[in-house]
Chains A and B, each alone.
Chain A
Amino acid sequence: MGLQALAYPFLFVAIFFEAFVLVTFLSKDARAARARKPARRDAPDLPSVAVIVPCWNEARTVGATVESLLALEYPAEKLEVVLVDNASSDDTPAVMARYAAHPQVTLLREEARGKHNAVNAGIRQCEAEIVGCLDADSFVEPSALLAMVPCFENPSIGATTAAMSVHEPGNLLQHMQNAEYIFGIARANALSVVHGIHVTPGPFSLYRRALVQSLGGFRAAYQTEDLEMALRLQRAGYKIANAPAARVYTKAPATVLKLVKQRTRWTSGYLRNVLNDYRDMVGSARYGALGAITLPLGMLAIGSGILLFALALYQVVHGLVEAVSLRAGIPLSYALAPHASFGWFYLPASLYTLLAALTVLIAAAMIVLGKRISRTPGSLTAGLFGYVLLYGLIAPLWLIRSTADVALGKTRAWR
């Protein structure tokens, strides 16, 4: 047992969280949320929607992003696309200029750097009832908006999130992220019915415009303005819904370095927002599952991710040193040959390995469920393989880096 005993409480909490999500996913309320009918395109009471696309050096992808928005199944007179160039230094303005004459498109330039400034500039320009944000490297399915607007029939809903997955995953790392995002679809669907969503992601979230303005608009919020807005509007008493049928695809980092950089920003933003500005919500039953479960367990997950990784690393290094020391001086033909014994007797099953396997198994089940409810196209095989193989190795890198950044007060550039 030894050091492994340290991991047991964290594994217990991980299984508890997964069980909570699974139980909630199967609840009547979550089933009802999944069964929610999309709005009809010809419905007379459809709200007006403005989708803001903040762009900072997004020349390569913004064209396709705009095309996907213009292809949304929604009455043209009720849908506006606001492209905000946030002082780009590449060809973004030129790409945006191609849409200058389009009746549904408005072009803006915001010199004050920062995504929150760009989004706020867009919000100031529009009068639509609902405003949406779509990152300029993301693309929506035509049916996404009609699937999301019915959520706002409930006046307590302040925002709605979509079902996000990776756009054309190429390598194993991107497949891994795709599986993780699809896991997030099932999780968001479940947590939305107990008001436990902690972020309204940049790739297509909708808000009540009046609410966002009454709350003072978006803030810099340690480079995680989407997370901060989600917390702020819930602190104001509003709730966040989820529409799992609203599919949106986003580009995912293709290298470990870029992924770690992106996730360091997300995780350090989470930590700074929660620790500095929203600490009162942690553990508070007043905020539903967000205060009672999502926020406290999110903090715990960061700590346990680092601890479990350190533990596994120690065991691997210790095992390697022992194996090398054991074999010193023994002919390589024997030392390197496999001497493992097989059969049930030698099954390497311990409480630690089986509990860890159980968490992975439940996560895999959630990924399959996420794909099913969102009808996300493509195969999951590579994603599941990448998730099981890589996630535990790579995620601790950004957990450690972001925790160190927060502890040392270090801030990093967006890209």
Chain B
Amino acid sequence: MSLVLRNTIIALAITVALVLTVFFAIKYLNDARVAELHSIEDQLSLDTLSLDTQFSLLEAAPCGSVASSTDLTGELASLGDRLAYAEGQLGSGNAQVKGLKEQYSLLEIRDYLITKQLAAACGTHPVTVLYFYSNAGDCADCDRAGYALSYLRDTYPNLRVYSFDYNLDLGALSTLISLEKIKATLPAFVIDGTTTYGFTDLASLEAEFPKGVLSAPAASSTETTSAK
């Protein structure tokens, strides 16, 4: 066998080995990402259940308890960021991503309901935003709307933003969509109970918020919980 042929075969074997190593390293990393998301979701499920139970136990005086979903909302946002990144890496069609998104949406709905219950019981008025988007290529303004909401959420930490993939096949989400009467004209927002469609710019979106809610960044809270 000539040196050229021999070295060609060895080089090919090395190349295949290197490419496979990289391929499996990426797969390992993505599997670890999914495992991490599972772990965060499991913890959040526990926290949500704990909060829910705490709320039920202290139903008589929930406002004087430590019951608050504020921390959970922050963790939910962090989980949302990670999930969005994992979706970008693995693709929205990935079965694991889809499952995690369903679980995440359920957690969001649960947190939204608890927030509403606490508000009703304690007489507070937290401002919530339900944001419905699609990444199926049929929503040209969804990325911009999502970024604007991220800005509002980061600037006004007590603003509660819940993002939902409109096309997700999840019973609870379908129920929420029909309860809120959300049409498939995306992006759609439910801001403090009022539904609006479409996104032009940040100023127009801010105009949809109740007066005074967005006037004082961070320091003043739009929500008053019993913990305070």
The chain A residues found within 8 Å of chain B, CB to CB, are: 1, 12, 15-17, 19-20, 22-24, 27, 29, 193-194, 196, 285, 288-289, 292-293, 322, 325-331, 334-335, 339, 341, 344-347, 349-351, 354-355, 358
Please, how many angstroms separate the alpha-carbon atoms of A19 and B85 in the complex?
34
Please, how many angstroms separate the alpha-carbon atoms of A355 and B82 in the complex?
24
Residues in B1-59 with C-beta less than 8 Å from chain A: 2-4, 7-8, 10-12, 14-15, 18-19, 22-23, 25-26, 29, 32-33, 36
Query: Of the candidates A15, A16, A29, A328, which one forms a contact with B3 in the assembled complex, judged by CB atoms under 8 Å apart?
Result: A29
Residue of A nearest to B36 (CB): A345
Residue of A nearest to B32 (CB): A344
Please, how many angstroms separate the alpha-carbon atoms of A354 and B29 in the complex?
12
Secondary structure at chain B's binding surface: helix, strand, loop or mixed? helix
**Mind listing 11 A-B residue pairs with CB under 8 Å?**
A23-B11, A24-B7, A193-B3, A293-B4, A326-B144, A329-B148, A334-B151, A334-B155, A344-B32, A345-B82, A346-B85
Q: Count chain A CB atoms within 10 A of each CB in B7, B19, B22, B25 and give the residue with the most.
A: B7
Query: Of the candidates B14, B19, B81, B91, which one forms a contact with A23 in the assembled complex, judged by CB atoms under 8 Å apart?
Result: B14
Docked-complex contact A15 and B19, CB < 8 angstroms: yes
Query: Of the candidates B7, B12, B14, B29, which one forms a contact with A347 in the assembled complex, judged by CB atoms under 8 Å apart?
Result: B29
Docked-complex contact A350 and B151, CB < 8 angstroms: no
Please, how many angstroms separate the alpha-carbon atoms of A1 and B25 in the complex?
16
Closest 7 CB pairs of A and B: A20-B11, A19-B11, A329-B201, A19-B14, A16-B15, A329-B202, A354-B22
Please, how many angstroms separate the alpha-carbon atoms of A293 and B8 in the complex?
9
Please, how many angstroms separate the alpha-carbon atoms of A289 and B11 in the complex?
13
Please, how many angstroms separate the alpha-carbon atoms of A65 and B203 in the complex?
70
Q: Does B89 contact A (CB under 8 A)?
A: yes
User: Chain B 72-116, CB within 8 Å of chain A: the 1/0 string?
Assistant: 000000000110010001010000000000000000000000000
Give the shortest distance, in Å, between B224 (CB) and chain A (any CB): 26
The interface residues of chain B lying within 8 Å CB-to-CB of A341 are 81-82, 85
Please, how many angstroms separate the alpha-carbon atoms of A246 and B219 in the complex?
72
Query: Of the candidates A15, A27, A196, which one forms a contact with B18 in the assembled complex, judged by CB atoms under 8 Å apart?
Result: A15
Please, how many angstroms separate the alpha-carbon atoms of A325 and B140 in the complex?
11
Query: Of the candidates B2, B4, B22, B91, which one forms a contact with A358 in the assembled complex, judged by CB atoms under 8 Å apart?
Result: B22
Residue of A nearest to B8 (CB): A20
The interface residues of chain A lying within 8 Å CB-to-CB of B23 are 351
Docked-complex contact B89 and A350, CB < 8 angstroms: yes
Q: Count chain A CB atoms within 10 A of each CB in B3, B81, B85, B201 and give the residue with the most.
A: B3
Please, how many angstroms separate the alpha-carbon atoms of A269 and B150 in the complex?
55
Residue of A nearest to B81 (CB): A341
Docked-complex contact B144 and A23, CB < 8 angstroms: no
Q: Count chain A CB atoms within 10 A of each CB in B10, B26, B147, B201 and give the residue with the most.
A: B147
Docked-complex contact B19 and A355, CB < 8 angstroms: yes
Q: Does B143 contact A (CB under 8 A)?
A: yes
Residue of B nearest to A16 (CB): B15
Q: Count chain A CB atoms within 10 A of each CB in B8, B81, B150 and give the residue with the most.
A: B8
Known: A326-B143, A334-B151, A345-B82. A194 touches B7 (CB 8 A): yes
Please, how many angstroms separate the alpha-carbon atoms of A29 and B3 in the complex?
9
Q: A23-B11, A289-B4, A326-B147 are in contact. List 6 more A-B contacts (CB 8 A).
A: A196-B4, A285-B4, A329-B201, A344-B32, A345-B82, A349-B25
The interface residues of chain B lying within 8 Å CB-to-CB of A1 are 91
Docked-complex contact A330 and B18, CB < 8 angstroms: no
Please, how many angstroms separate the alpha-carbon atoms of A335 and B202 in the complex?
12
Give the shortest distance, in Å, between A113 (CB) and chain B (any CB): 40
Q: Count chain B CB atoms within 10 A of each CB in A193, A330, A351, A355 and give the residue with the most.
A: A330
Docked-complex contact B143 and A329, CB < 8 angstroms: no
Docked-complex contact A24 and B3, CB < 8 angstroms: yes
Docked-complex contact B15 and A15, CB < 8 angstroms: yes
Known: A345-B82, A349-B29, A355-B19. A23 touches B148 (CB 8 A): no
Docked-complex contact B18 and A351, CB < 8 angstroms: no
Docked-complex contact B22 and A355, CB < 8 angstroms: yes
Q: Does B154 contact A (CB under 8 A)?
A: yes
Please, how many angstroms separate the alpha-carbon atoms of A112 and B29 in the complex?
65
The interface residues of chain A lying within 8 Å CB-to-CB of B36 are 345
Give the shortest distance, in Å, between B39 (CB) and chain A (any CB): 11
Docked-complex contact A27 and B7, CB < 8 angstroms: yes
Please, how many angstroms separate the alpha-carbon atoms of A15 and B23 in the complex?
14
Known: A15-B15, A16-B12, A20-B7. A330 touches B151 (CB 8 A): yes
Please, how many angstroms separate the alpha-carbon atoms of A196 and B3 in the complex?
12
The interface residues of chain A lying within 8 Å CB-to-CB of B143 are 322, 326
Docked-complex contact A350 and B26, CB < 8 angstroms: yes
Docked-complex contact B3 and A194, CB < 8 angstroms: yes
The interface residues of chain B lying within 8 Å CB-to-CB of A285 are 4
Give the shortest distance, in Å, between B133 (CB) and chain A (any CB): 14
The interface residues of chain B lying within 8 Å CB-to-CB of A355 are 19, 22
Residue of A nearest to B30 (CB): A349
